[in-house]
Amino acid sequence: MITTTNRLTRATWAISRLHARRTLTARVDMISNVLFGLLIAYALAFLWQALYSSNVVNSEVTVEQMITYAVLGSVATTVLQTNTVFWADWRIRSGDVIFDVLRPINWQLTLFGDYFGTVLAQFVAVGIPIVLLSALFLDFLAPASVLAGLLFIPSLFLGVVISFSIVFLILLLAFRFTQVGGIESAMRGFRPILTGALVPLWFFPDWLETSFCALPFPDIAFTPLAIYVGEIEGSDIWFAVLRQLGWVVALSALGAWLAHRGMRKLSVQGG
């Protein structure tokens, strides 16, 4: 049992490294992502400044917190976007997916390795430069508390896993409908809004905030970001991370079950 887990972890990590390296070789992609991510980070930071200075603000969140949130939100949107669905969708359509499925490692785990490796590379090569270059001229705050600082990273990681689980579910639609590129394109548009990366959920009217929170999306970016800036505090942090864990388990299990059914269909059709 331990050796199997060990083997799978190492295999997944090897796949992640491969995709991380692949991502890093795309220089134009990396540099443009830093530049466009910075543009959005600065633009939103200035927007918050403008909004806070020219209007009566009925919010307990400070402008510095909002600037920090804007920078991290831009990082989240930039870093979480990968081509995993497009590649895998093509492999399903062309029938090449059979090679992925025949490997002695779970297909879901293979794709997670792909997604995680890409996101990790983008986090290091794009996310961190955006944060550093933003902190240069903007009021970028440190984590709100020691606990927030400690739990921000695990919460972010769980956000990535939830994000992947949703990507995986979209991909599984491909077994039924053959092509899902269009749905993923639309998801790319939804992501900044639904995850709360562009506009934090506390600005939404209560009914909208409640309905968004019933979905897994805010736990991708909003939750870790709100923990960082201190809008989720104290024991609520633990509760939020536990809820993220809950989504991870539920969505992964759903994905695994549907994948299993999808594979059966694949073997019946003969690819």
Partner 1 sequence: MKRSIALQLAYIKIGFKSAIQYRVNFIGGVIGLLLHSLLAAVGGIVLIDRFGGVVGWELGQIMFMFGLTRIQSGFIYSVFRGVVRWEGQVREGWVDRYLVRPRGILAQASGADFDIAGLGPIIAGVGLIIYGVVLSPPDLTWWLVPWLLIVMVSGTMIQLAIVMVIGSSAFYNVRMGSATNAAERSQWQMNLFPASAYSTVVQTLVTIGLPWAFMAFYPAHLVYGVASDELFGEPVLYLAPVAGLAAFLIGAWSWRRGIRSYQGMGGV
Partner 2 sequence: MTTEESSKTWVRANDLTREYRVQTDGLSTGRFGLGLFRREMRTVTAIDNISFSIDRGEAVGLVGLNGAGKSTLLKLITGVLVPTSGEVAVGGLNPSQNRSQVVSDIGVVFGHRSQLWWDAPLVDSMNVLKLIYSVDEDEYRQRLEQLSEILELGELIRRAPRQLSLGQRVRGEIMASLLHSPKLLILDEPTVGLDIIAKARIRNLIRTLVEEEDVTVILASHEVTDIERVCDRTILIDHGQILYDGTIEQLIATAGVERSLVLDVASEAGGTEGDVSVEQVTVPLTGEDAASRLIEAASAGTVSDARVTGGDLEVILARVFDRAEE
Q: What residues line the site for partner 2 (CB under 8 A)?
A: 21-22, 24-25, 27, 30, 124-125
What's the min distance (Å) between Cβ of 41 and partner 1? Answer: 10
Q: Tell me how many helices (H) and strands (E) the chain has.
A: 12, 0
Identify which of 260, 219, 49, 34 has the alpha carbon closest to the alpha carbon of residue 127: 34
Partner that binds at residue 125, options partner 2, partner 1, none, CB closer than 5 to 8 Å by kind = partner 2
For 270, the token pair is: 């003969």
Q: Which is nearer to partner 1, 13 or 46 (CB)?
A: 46
Partner that binds at residue 32, options partner 2, partner 1, none, CB closer than 5 to 8 Å by kind = partner 1
Residues 6+ apart with CB under 8 A from 66: 45, 48, 52, 200
153 contacts partner 1 (rule: CB under 8 A):
no
Partner that binds at residue 178, options partner 1, partner 2, none, CB closer than 5 to 8 Å by kind = partner 1
Q: Please provide the DSSP assignment of 167-186 as one string.
A: HHHHHHHHHHHS--HHHHHH
6, 179, 211, 267: which one binds partner 1 (CB under 8 A): 179
Q: CA-to-CA distance for 98 and 43, rounded, in angstroms?
A: 45
Q: Which helix (H) or strand (E) holds 14?
A: helix 2-25
What's the min distance (Å) between Cβ of 121 and partner 2? Answer: 8
6, 7, 14, 51: which one binds partner 1 (CB under 8 A): 51
12, 16, 33, 244: which one binds partner 1 (CB under 8 A): 33
**Total of chain residues touching partner 1, rule CB under 8 A:** 53
16, 77, 84, 223: which one binds partner 1 (CB under 8 A): 77
Single-letter amino acid, residue 176: R
245 contacts partner 1 (rule: CB under 8 A):
no
- DSSP assignment letter at 140: P
For 32, the token pair is: 């443009």
For 232, the token pair is: 């989720």
- DSSP assignment letter at 201: G
Q: CA-to-CA distance for 41 and 126, rounded, in angstroms?
A: 13
Partner that binds at residue 223, options partner 2, partner 1, none, CB closer than 5 to 8 Å by kind = none
Partner that binds at residue 154, options partner 2, partner 1, none, CB closer than 5 to 8 Å by kind = none
Partner that binds at residue 265, options partner 1, partner 2, none, CB closer than 5 to 8 Å by kind = none
Partner that binds at residue 192, options partner 1, partner 2, none, CB closer than 5 to 8 Å by kind = partner 1
Query: Do residues 255 and 115 lie in contact, with contact meaning Cβ atoms separated by under 8 Å?
Result: no
Query: Do residues 193 and 110 lie in contact, with contact meaning Cβ atoms separated by under 8 Å?
Result: no
Identify which of 79, 77, 73 has the alpha carbon closest to the alpha carbon of residue 199: 73
- Give residues 110-139 in contact with partner 1 (rule: CB under 8 A): none
Q: Which is nearer to partner 1, 109 or 201 (CB)?
A: 201
Query: Which residues are near partner 1 by CB under 8 A?
Result: 25-29, 32-33, 36-37, 39-40, 42-44, 46-47, 49-51, 54-59, 77-78, 81, 83, 173, 176-183, 185-190, 192-194, 198-199, 203-205, 208
